[in-house]
Structure 1
Amino acid sequence: MPSSPALLRLDPTACGLPRRSLLLAPLGALAGGCTPGAPALQGGWVGTHPERGHRLRGELPRTDGPLKKAGVLIVGAGIAGLACARELARRGIDDIALLDLEDEAGGNSRAHALGGSLCPLGAHYLPLPGPEAHEVNELLHALGLAREQFGRTVWDERHLCHSPQERLFIDGPEGGYWHEGVLPPPDGAVALAQYRHFSALVAQAQRELGFAMPTQRARWTAGHAALDAQTFAAWLGAQALTDPQLRWYLDYCCRDDFGAGADTVSAWAGLHYFASRHGFHAPGDEAGEREPVLTWPEGNGWLSQRLAAPLRERIHTGRVVMRVTEGRTGVELMAWNEAAGAPERWQARAVVMATPLFIAHRLLASPPDALRAAAGHLRYAPWLTANLLLREPLLTRPGAPPAWDNVRYGATALGYVDARHQTLDPMPRPPLLTAYRALPTAARGELLSGSWQHWAQSVIGDLAATHPDLPGKVERIDLCRFGHAMSMPVPGLRGSAALAALNAARGRVVFAHADLAGYSVFEEAYTAGVAAAARLSL
């Protein structure tokens, strides 16, 4: 194998079928591989209930339900809502009720169980927070993940991603191989020069403009606004960054964190991905080692479960909030109790809207102008996650050994993580894969209306391009769909006056969601929840 191979795109085969035939093959053929009479694939939809959210499109139900009261109502028990409730409790306010549409708190950070093992339904890791994320740092210390020792932070290594962390499958004339790390190796000196040029541009942006996580901790300047006004792809083109390997990697990073590619997200977002955290390091750089991350078999469900546990008696799941009306002395809320099949009425002194902003806009009887403007600007990425339980290990292929995160070069899917990579089980078992896809907005309807078998076939076919033996080894596949998984930081969103106004809003109705940052990550959601608790008028 050459030390610096060209990245050739060859369609692999599985069971003698070309990749196109594999993707279009009947599900039974995929599930059984090349073995006639293989058992039928088991699986289904789990985790979300799109039909509940669609109740908002219909007429409001009757309003003669039982009356319930709370000091503060929090609509949405995702990370922002849980963070807000935790902060209110820390401030001595315990008359709180959280209402959530789903049957479990955690939003996009929830866990699943398959084959006796935990796995994620959505978000699956948390980068080590920087100094600006002091709310997240406080939480992680409180959960025992970190401690201070001799003036430095020491992390509990049991919760850091075990090595090897990442690998990239690269097709080649001899069948392809695994490369350590997700950054493709540059194909020659010209390509390496572009890698280094981008690294220098990121360092310059860090030094001259400033970026932070959470983003509100960085001063917004005319330089940021200029980046926010154009797409990342346009900015890369203006910098003469055209190398296909580099461009694929940067597009992959955008789709992984923002749900959309470089031609959709802003140049501010594309640079923020690197400049607010670890920078960008070209191959051969002294600081090129990948930063460690916190992760668990169940992904960020580990965090959401620990946030929710002290609040269990205050969390009311299976509640579809239909209308929120602010009055002179308080707030009234109407919800639908899914388990009871009946309406509920709530009264509170104040309410925190910890939902996506487009949902908050629909729920509020009198939404403020800033919310109307923000909801009109936001665009959301649909996501699909699939957990695959395997009967036996996958065959090895040349190159880097199995890692936690596994990606295929050139693919539109985001790859998969192995939930069992983080276990300390002395008896190794077959991997439990969680595959991720950020879908184009045009696919939202198909995602919500298509059968689980249709999407299982698509996921298995995609993974079979890297692992031809996988179809015959899948015992069960559970899929989770998010029609509006995350807001995409499109040009003009981050610097909009509407988001700035909502971030500063005070009163009996305040907002807490990662949407307030223009994109969706744990650090932004958690910080937004803590900040909302301080802006409430009680």
Structure 2
Amino acid sequence: MHRRQFIQSLSTLAGGSLLLPACGGPSTKKIPGEIVGASASIGHLLRDGGLQGPVELAGTTDVVIAGGGISGLSAGRWLQKNGISDFVLLDLEKHAGGNAASGHNNICAYPWGAHYIPVPNNDLTEYLAFLQESNVITGYNEQGLPVYNEYYICFAPEERLYINGTWQNGLVPHAGLPVEEQQQFKRFFEQMEIFRQAKGSDGKDAFAIPVLHSSTDIQYRQLDRISMRAWLQQNGYTSGYLHWYCNYCTRDDFGTRYEEASAWAGIHYFAGRKGKAANAEHQDVLTWPQGNAWLAQQLQKNFTSQVKVNSLVVNVAETNTGVDVIYFDVNAKRLKKIAARKCIIAAPQFIAQRLIKNNNRLAAIHEHFSYSPWMVANLTVGPLQERRGEELCWDNVIYDSESLGYVEATHQLLEQHIPQKVLTYYLPLTKSDATTERKKALALQHADWVQMIIKDLQKVHGNIRDAVQHLDVMVWGHAMIQPKLNCIHNPERQQVAQPVNNRIFFAHTDLAGISIFEEGFYQGIQAAKSVIQSFQ
């Protein structure tokens, strides 16, 4: 018996989640917690030009990596593996990792951002090698398929959806759906499977990972010119449930509503995944209590001494011999400079532009790069009252909610019967345009967020206010690139990725057009390879 099946059987014997009687009346309990997280106030000093004064020389190096998200960490790992250890990685936060941030309390670690990776495609050689180094892949079977560590494959039960008064298994709506709506889902997934197997006239996969490896055949590129909603309408999909599901998917992966997301990106969500494994399917996911922060730790484990946190890069300027990188040392409260031969800016393009002030890139960035704001909350809870249907899962979604629901961070712990749990609640802020939502989010107080979250979760947990013991909130102002119309296959986006005079290089998921782990991983490798080649 696989360990995942064993865990599931224990959960069944224990009776799943506790069913509690309804509360007697509305609770007025005040829920403790705070707004935590990304150092927006310090970052805004770069935007507002508030950092001035004398600059102290902090040393010299071959390469400075500006940004410690997945792209920056992947670049550092690749440099280290290929004989370049004279580099420094600078990151504003207290811990590197970017959107793969995490926290912890006395119960467990939990994610503050990206929290899983799908089973990888089998042609991603470098990525598979990294996962094997990290013991996520424990070996290969006789057919050459990877064997994934059972501790990291999401334990059952994995997903549930609250719809039509009940919790159903899985996130694809089916409970209470009319036959004709179920048939539309069947036709939709059959069409997605055709896209998943399709190749263009150039012989490339129509939808590949990384995105740059996808076919440039016009019949697929033209899907970037219409929205996912328009594509559904053009293909005769009228089911409100299917439209909700596609909108949920684009908001989940891209922080973008389906009427704004390009159809190419929306279809890629379903058609880009092709992984095969000895003990997992392409739709399975790998996860950890702290989410992708675990992977970020693995990326940097061999060069932790070269990582300088609490360091805000404020300027990157070419010199006669290389590049001067000026940064604000948050702890010392002073500006410092590192003289480098090369620099990799592993940050979003709206930040990169402020660092190098290159007018040739400015117009393209303003026109083609938009970033979605998110709110993430972590709730420490006692026993929860449950609605009928499926028991508590790793991923728990409420139909027709503005939120994406929550994942249970304690789900992946070896000890399964824990009296308290940590729920990580995700809300992409997509009601209006990103700028408006960003301003609204930054103006809200902790109590405002608590009221909003409790109101949403009361639909499925009648005692949620009494059950919550602590609730912290983090607002991500620019969480991920939005793949709007003409984003993925726009040549200007690709032009922005080009190095500056073979000295300044760029690596970030926004250059790919979609923000997934593999894109960050390969953006970092590509930038590191370009740096290595420039030294030759």
CA, structure 1 residues 35+411, in 2 after alignment: closer, same or farther (shift >3 Å)? Answer: closer
Q: CA deviation at 1:499?
A: 2.4
Q: 1:511 aligns with which of 506, 510, 523?
A: 506
Partner of 1:28: none
Q: Deviations over 1:185-241 (max 9, x none)?
A: 172232122112212322332324421121112222212221001111111111111
Partner of 2:122: 131
Partner of 2:33: 43
Partner of 1:486: 480
Q: 1:456 aligns with which of 440, 450, 465?
A: 450
Partner of 2:287: 295
Q: 1:329 aligns with which of 321, 330, 343?
A: 321
Partner of 1:525: 520
Say which is worse superposed, 126-135 or 257-266, in terms of deviation: 126-135
- Local SS of the residue matching 2:34: strand
Contact 2:498-2:506 at 8 Å conserved across structures: no
- How does 1:156-167 map onto structure 2 within 5 Å? 156-167=149-160
Contact 2:75-2:524 at 8 Å conserved across structures: yes
Give the letter for the 1:247 counterpart: H
1:107 and 2:101 correspond:
no
Q: Deviations over 1:284-319 (max 9, x none)?
A: xxxx98822100111111111222232221111111
Give the letter for the 1:263 counterpart: E
Give 5+ residue unaligned stretches, structure 2: 1-21, 201-205
Alignment RMSD: 2.0
Q: Deviations over 1:20-46 (max 9, x none)?
A: xxxxxxxxxxxxx7456x4x3211122
Contact 2:160-2:168 at 8 Å conserved across structures: yes
TM-score, length of structure 1 as denominator length: 0.88
CA, structure 1 residues 299+516, in 2 after alignment: closer, same or farther (shift >3 Å)? Answer: same
Contact 1:68-1:344 at 8 Å conserved across structures: no
- How does 1:169-184 map onto structure 2 within 5 Å? 169-171=162-164, 176-184=165-173
Q: CA deviation at 1:402?
A: 0.9
* Separation in structure 2 between the aligned mates of residue 399 and residue 117 of structure 1, nearest angstrom: 27
* Separation in structure 2 between the aligned mates of residue 444 and residue 228 of structure 1, nearest angstrom: 26
* Separation in structure 2 between the aligned mates of residue 95 and residue 428 of structure 1, nearest angstrom: 46
* Separation in structure 2 between the aligned mates of residue 277 and residue 244 of structure 1, nearest angstrom: 25
TM-score, length of structure 2 as denominator length: 0.88
CA, structure 1 residues 219+504, in 2 after alignment: closer, same or farther (shift >3 Å)? Answer: farther
Partner of 2:400: 410
Q: 1:472 aligns with which of 466, 469, 473?
A: 466
Q: CA deviation at 1:455?
A: 1.3
Contact 1:120-1:300 at 8 Å conserved across structures: yes
Partner of 1:436: 426
- Local SS of the residue matching 2:104: strand
Contact 1:98-1:315 at 8 Å conserved across structures: yes
* Separation in structure 2 between the aligned mates of residue 52 and residue 73 of structure 1, nearest angstrom: 20
* Separation in structure 2 between the aligned mates of residue 393 and residue 483 of structure 1, nearest angstrom: 32
Give the letter for the 1:292 counterpart: D
Q: 2:210 aligns with which of 214, 236, 239?
A: 214
- Local SS of the residue matching 2:295: helix
After the TM superposition, which segments of 4 or more aligned residues of structure 1 sit over 3 Å from their partners? 33-36, 502-506
Partner of 2:410: 420
* Separation in structure 1 between the aligned mates of residue 508 and residue 91 of structure 2, nearest angstrom: 14
Q: CA deviation at 1:329?
A: 2.1
Contact 2:507-2:523 at 8 Å conserved across structures: yes
- Local SS of the residue matching 1:43: coil
Partner of 1:534: 529
* Separation in structure 2 between the aligned mates of residue 438 and residue 399 of structure 1, nearest angstrom: 27
Q: CA deviation at 1:504?
A: 5.2
Contact 2:387-2:460 at 8 Å conserved across structures: no
Q: CA deviation at 1:426?
A: 5.3
Partner of 1:282: none
Q: CA deviation at 1:456?
A: 2.0
Q: How many residues end up aligned between the 2 structures? A: 493
Q: CA deviation at 1:15?
A: 6.0
Q: CA deviation at 1:486?
A: 0.2
1:71 and 2:66 correspond:
no
Give the letter for the 2:237 counterpart: L
- Local SS of the residue matching 1:74: strand
Q: Deviations over 1:148-204 (max 9, x none)?
A: 232221111111000010000013xxxx21000000017223212211221232233
Partner of 1:359: 351
Say which is worse superposed, 456-465 or 233-242, in terms of deviation: 456-465
- How does 1:76-91 map onto structure 2 within 5 Å? 76-91=67-82
Partner of 2:260: 264
Partner of 1:347: 339
Q: 2:44 aligns with which of 48, 54, 69?
A: 54
**Percent of aligned pairs with the same residue?**
36
Q: CA deviation at 1:371?
A: 6.1
Partner of 1:7: none
Contact 1:254-1:261 at 8 Å conserved across structures: yes
Q: CA deviation at 1:80?
A: 0.4
